[in-house]
Amino acid sequence: MVLSHEEIQASLRDSQKWELEDETWIKKQYNLPTFPKAMQFVNELADLAEDRQHHPYIIINHTTVTIKLSTLDKGGLTQKDFEAAHAYDRTYLRYT
């Protein structure tokens, strides 16, 4: 089920600096110390995404990794997006 605007705003307040983009995506940038670490991080996220069958949009720019999430088959943001965001934040903690 697609979340309402109020539910999205509440979930964003509970998130760790995820931002709303175009009302249908949440986005966050992660900064890693080196390019190899950025690639390791992305590979871990890929495994998480595959396990969840919920795949993010990923941009890798040297040591900056940008993640965007949306549940495209539902037409917007769902709880799956915020659960994935939380899992990605937990993964990132191992790289800081």
User: Which domains occur in the chain, in start order?
Assistant: 5-93 (3.30.1360.20)
Rounded to 5 degrees, φ, ψ at 34 are: -145, 165
Q: Which pLDDT belongs to residue 20?
A: 98
Residue type, 76: G
Q: Which pLDDT belongs to residue 37?
A: 98
For 62-82, what is each residue's pLDDT tens digit?
999 999 999 999 999 999 999
Q: Which pLDDT belongs to residue 6?
A: 97
For 7-48, what is each residue's pLDDT tens digit?
999 999 999 999 999 999 999 999 999 999 999 999 999 999
Asked whether 55 and 49 are in contact (CB, 8 A), the reply is: yes
pTM of the model: 0.94
CB environment 17-41: b (16+ within 10 A), e (fewer): ebeeeeebbbbbebebeeeeebeeb
In the chain, what are the helix, strand and coil shares in percent, each to the nearest 5?
A: 50, 25, 30
Neighbouring CB atoms inside 10 A of 15's CB total: 15
Q: Which pLDDT belongs to residue 96?
A: 87
